[in-house]
Amino acid sequence: MTLNITKIAAVALMASLAANSFAQEKKEYPQQERMRPGMSEYWTPQPKIVTPGNQATASAPSDAIVLFDGKDLSAWESARDHSAAGWTVHDGIMTVNKKAGDIQTKESFHNFQLHIEWCIPQMDDQFKSQSRGNSGVYLQNMYEVQVLDSYNNETYVNGQAGSIYKQTPPLVNAMRAPGEWNVYDIIYTAPVFTEDGQYLYKPRVTVIHNGVVVQNNTEIIGTTEYIGFPKVKVHGDGPILLQSHGDPSPGISYRNIWLRKL
Ligand code: MG
């Protein structure tokens, strides 16, 4: 009996020593592959092209907050340092000044209906894909609805005009030609977060491009990253941010911007 107990104790000791030395061995895992932009881009199927109908200019309804009526940028500021928005106002429109960087509304918003018109200037054919008229409307400073020249200019479909950038391509391509005005009507529902920083309810967006639905109550799955996966970042109300993209093509213009809180 005593012998058996000693034997069991010895086996247990050996097992414990073995487990210890196993724990001390450094395990080798594969390196995580570095994310590259192309890993989150896809090119097919290209959305069907739909020629939009004529649209009357939608002036702001009586309960809207007018964010730009062609006169000045008093509702906007530099996203970099909250100084005066440095884009150019002329002829009732505002044009991106790439040196000045992104601009954002001074006011923050929760759920809203946003009307915004934008125009891609005529430019040389050397500007292609994402380097042709790239800008963007960021909802709550987090989620980009892409602005791009998608008229005879193919790119990865989850990065063309009307896409939720690097997430959801538009249902169809309702783009107007360079020099003509495009219209976005965007209906946005802000997310609700859990206490541990996940989405309880994801953000949702409907986008109507030139009178054509291109996002139909689309669930946004996280931030719209250029490289890597969407991230969940806890946030509250946020501004509308307009992107000054770093590509060398001429800057695009915006006009007639208004928002209704929902
Ligand atoms: Mg963009």
- The tens digit of pLDDT for each residue in 15-60 reads 454 445 555 678 999 988 899 999 999 999 999 999 999 887 889 9
Residue boundaries of the structural domains of the chain: 65-261
DSSP 8-class letter at 256 = E
The secondary structure of residue 29, as a DSSP letter, is -
Helix (H, G, I), strand (E, B) or coil at 2: helix
pLDDT on residue 24:
62
Cα–Cα distance between 258 and 117 in angstroms, integer?
10
Distance 134 CA to ligand 1 centre (A): 5
Question: Does residue 210 carry a pLDDT above 60?
Answer: yes
How far, in Å, is the centroid of ligand 1 from the Cα of 169?
A: 13
Q: How many CB atoms lie within 10 A of CB 117?
A: 20
Cα 91 to middle of ligand 1, angstroms: 24
- Give the pLDDT of residue 55: 84
Q: Where are the alpha helices (DSSP H) in the chain?
A: 2-24
Report the mean per-residue pLDDT for the chain. Answer: 92
Ligand 1 centroid to 240 CA: how many Å?
Answer: 14
Residues 118, 123, 128, 130, CA torsion sign: negative
Task: Give the dihedral sign, CA 148/250/41/112.
Answer: negative
| Tokens 């939608």 sit on residue | 58
Q: What distance in angstroms lies between residue 130's CA and the mean position of ligand 1's atoms?
A: 8
Instruction: Report pTM.
Output: 0.87
Q: How far is CA 258 from CA 62, 64, 231, in A?
A: 11, 6, 29
Report the separation in Å between the CA atom of 145 and the middle of ligand 1, taken as the mean of its atom positions: 8
Q: What is the assigned CATH class of domain 65-261? A: mainly beta
